[in-house]
Amino acid sequence: MRKYLLIGVSAFVLGAGTMAYVSPIAQATSSTKGETYKMLELFGDVLQTVDAQYVSEVDNKKLIEAALDGMLTSLDPHSGYLSPDSFEDMQDTTRGEYGGLGIEVTSEDGVVKVISPMDGTPASRAGIQAGDYITAVNGQSVLGLTVNEAVKQMRGPAGEIVTLTIARDKTDPFDVKLTREVIKPKAAIARMEGDYGYVRLPGFNEKATEALTASINDLKTKNPNMKGLIFDLRNNPGGLLDQAVGVSSVFLDGGEVVSQRGRDPRDIQRYNARPGGDLLKGLPVVVLINQGSASAAEIVAGALQDRHRAELVGITSFGKGSVQTVIPLRGGADGALKLTTARYYTPSGRSIQKTGIAPDLEVAQTKDQAQDIANRVWFSEASFKNALNADEGKTRQGVHTPAEAPPPGFDEKKGDFQLDRAIAVLKAGSVQAVPKLPKPQAKIAEVTAKAAAAAGKGPPVEKK
């Protein structure tokens, strides 16, 4: 059975045919193939030379696997080669139970970067944040390693202590000690917030739709007068496409959820919600998103926004709008390819790739976050040098002052400002009707400059 790690279902057909004549196109193809064979011969020569003359003995299997992964990761950040062990680990992840620390990571310029910590895991409890760089594991540098190699070092028997060296913006590198656990991501977390239900979905593994359905039914049974729902997709790194469609079906009564389009403009595959869905029977819904909402989370948020079934509160999502198909090689015996095969589009035809899903009400979670958004490019899919472009050529919004941030006196350690604003939207009836808060006044750079001038130190110097 194929597994689809992030988003995507696609078929691959490799075939050969005969031609009655040699056309110019065929000649060009033949020439291209000749050049390809020449380069493959070059690869063999290099491998042979390294094997014979490198300063120490080499493992040719590892060299070839690294070459395969390098070839694929040069295409975009999400394509890659999975060794047989990595392929097995990926299958464990999609099943919703595995050993590790609970971090969704990617690679950027040879450095492992955190997309999102998972709820209720060692990484989340230790304060690991989206955008953190992991530079070493147990004192051993992971710089230059592939994501799969780095993840392999972080995984292992439950109960063992793992020390991660973290590089974070505006701080010196520091070590964090975590104890490995058998990671069983919570499929859904539900409670009441006054008259409104609250459900958080941490990921889209195989149990996501089932868990969400059970949580909403339980809330409805215990609270028959529930007036609406907050659906929390913050720091949700995504998962399986069928679960994104299934989760959307919980809120929608049929109709399109997402489409995916490959290299051929005619190659369009559409996915629809199940008719007779919408467990909430039209009750208002607000979806919470942030920079850690990616992939399947963006599909759901975009579908509910486009279909006018929910309004979105938070900050713009990650922008991971490409489809990866996992293609086992010899049934997985030789590992698998994780290959980007398409982009996905919301029901209105928006490509989310690089641009992300923008909320209806932009709300920074903290004052520091608001200042960061106003002064630097936030970590997102667009941060990758070789990220696939948005199909329609759109670009992600740059630095700007967000519409809302916690006011003076708000206790950011105890309170959840984005959640408070989501509840306010539900009470008011819509984003348009909710009373707006004053826009944050000062950017951090301006504040710093004023403070430095007052101290007679002159303007701040940016460290590079």
Q: Using CB atoms within 10 Å of the CB of residue 365, give its burial: 0 to 12 exposed, 13 to 18 middle, 19+ buried.
A: buried
Location of structure tokens 């109709």: 255
How far apart (Å, rounded) are the C-alpha atoms in residues 119 and 104?
Answer: 11
Question: Which residue among 295, 317, 351, 383 is the active-site one?
Answer: 295
Active site residue 109: no
| H helix intervals, 54-165 | 60-73, 84-95, 122-125, 147-154
| DSSP bridge partners of 106 | 113
CB atoms within 10 A of CB 103: 26
DSSP assignment of 180-214? -EEE---S-EEEEETTEEEEE---BSTTHHHHHHH
Whether 295 is a known active-site residue: answer yes
**Which one of 232, 278, 306, 372 is the catalytic residue?**
306
Calpha distance 300→364 (Å, rounded): 21
Residue type, 346: T
Closest by Cα among 278, 170, 309 to 216:
278
Torsion of CA 16, 22, 25, 28, to 10 degrees: 90
Measured CA to CA, the distance from residue 353 to residue 318 in angstroms comes to: 9
Burial of 373 (0-12, 13-18, 19+ CB in 10 A): buried
Give residue for tokens 């974070």: 168
Q: Which residues contact 320 (CB under 8 A, 6 or more apart)?
A: 6, 78, 238, 294, 295, 298, 352, 353, 381
Length of the chain: 464
Angle at 298 between CA 187 and CA 75, to 5 degrees: 110
**Residue 450 CA from chain centroid, whole number:** 37
Report whether 195 contacts 227 (CB < 8 A).
yes
Could you give the count of Cα atoms lying within 13 Å of 329 in the half-sphere of its Cβ? 15
Q: Check the CA dihedral 124-293-108-93 and report its sign.
A: positive
Task: State the Cα–Cα distance between residues 292 and 80, nearest whole angstrom.
Answer: 22
**Annotated catalytic residue: which of 113, 207, 320, 367?**
320
| 463 a catalytic residue | no
SS3 call for 105: strand
Q: Which residues contact 369 (CB under 8 A, 6 or more apart)?
A: 315, 405
Alpha-carbon separation of residue 412 from 364, 405, 448 (angstroms): 11, 11, 21
Q: So which residues are the catalytic ones?
A: 295, 306, 320
